[in-house]
Amino acid sequence: MWAPAAELDKKLNSNHDGSGETTEKEQQEAIEHIDEIQSEIDVLNEQASEEILKIEEKYNKLRQPFFQKRSEAIAKIPNFWVTTFVNHPQVSALLGEEDEAALHYLTRVEVAEFEDIQSGYKIEFYFDENPYFENKVLSKEFHVNESGDASLKSTEIIWKSGKELTKRSSQAPNTGSRKRKYEEPESFFAWFTNHPDADVDELGELIKDDIWPNPLQYYLLPDTDDDDEEEEEEEEEEEEEEEEEEEEGEEEEEEEEEGEEEEEGEEEGEGEEEGEGEEEGEGEEEGEGEEEGEGEEEGEGEEEKKEEEEEGENDDKGEKGEPDDDKGE
């Protein structure tokens, strides 16, 4: 049941008015009691860890025959392990182009936890004859002693002349791997050298805990580079289609503009022809008017000449008639 409001207020305000406040002694006793309970929980956790460890060791032994059968089946698939490593997003980031080429000769990988699995594990890489190193097997061991100190032990790689990958400052970028978004790393094979910081062996932990339990899941991963290429091709096709559409649109606009210009040109041409026709008509009329004026002037001039000639003839006749009159007299 819910406590009455007055009691709740009293408890909430107990630290302010001093009533109902626990003493320091009572708080200390409560802390000690909590610590005792926590110790009992820790004991149970330790017992659980021991039992889990025994179960892990038991089932680790039971898994070994199946690991062996799996290795025999994997051996029938060319480039299984290099494909698995290349497809793994974190391991892939540690591979250079020449590392990947060397790993094409990798035929088998084995991971063996020690009988006391808390004491460490061993990873072995088996190789065919290859142009890079003489070793047939490269191994790396991770040990933890009773005090919890870690140490590493690995095979010394016997490199063939001019093929020591770990001494090359940078390898050519491998465009065929998903990791190439990052800077080119040091050689993958540098992992087989002994490192002072044995507590940090990320690659070993990835191989043991992530890849080894089920390498098939990474082998079967789709190649993201192929996917990227397909996406790039699709993007290129889309861009080309867009460009074609833009070009078609521009051509249509140009054709429309040309059509409009032609129509305007035709209209202007018709206007000019009409203007020229009117000018020609006016010019013809003016020419006809001038010709008529000239004709009239010429006619008038001829008439004047005729009149002048007639007057001259009359004058001549008058002069001739005067002597005749004298004779009559």
Distance between CA atoms of residues 205 and 159, nearest Å: 26
> What residue segments make up the domains of the chain, in order of their start?
33-74, 77-215, 222-262
Distance between CA atoms of residues 142 and 199, nearest Å: 9
User: What pLDDT is recorded for position 204?
Assistant: 92
Distance between CA atoms of residues 189 and 191, nearest Å: 5
Is the C-alpha dihedral spanning 214, 216, 222, 226 positive or negative?
Answer: positive
Distance between CA atoms of residues 96 and 183, nearest Å: 10
Contact 91, 206 (CB under 8 A): yes
Q: Which CATH class, in words, describes the domain spanning 77-215?
A: alpha beta
Low-confidence residues of the chain, pLDDT below 70? Answer: 1-20, 168-185, 194-200, 223-231, 265-329
Contact 144, 119 (CB under 8 A): yes
Distance between CA atoms of residues 231 and 225, nearest Å: 10
Taking the model in full, what pTM does it have?
A: 0.57
Enumerate the β-bridge partners of residue 143: 120, 151
User: What pLDDT is recorded for position 299?
Assistant: 53
Residue type, 225: D
Residue type, 109: V
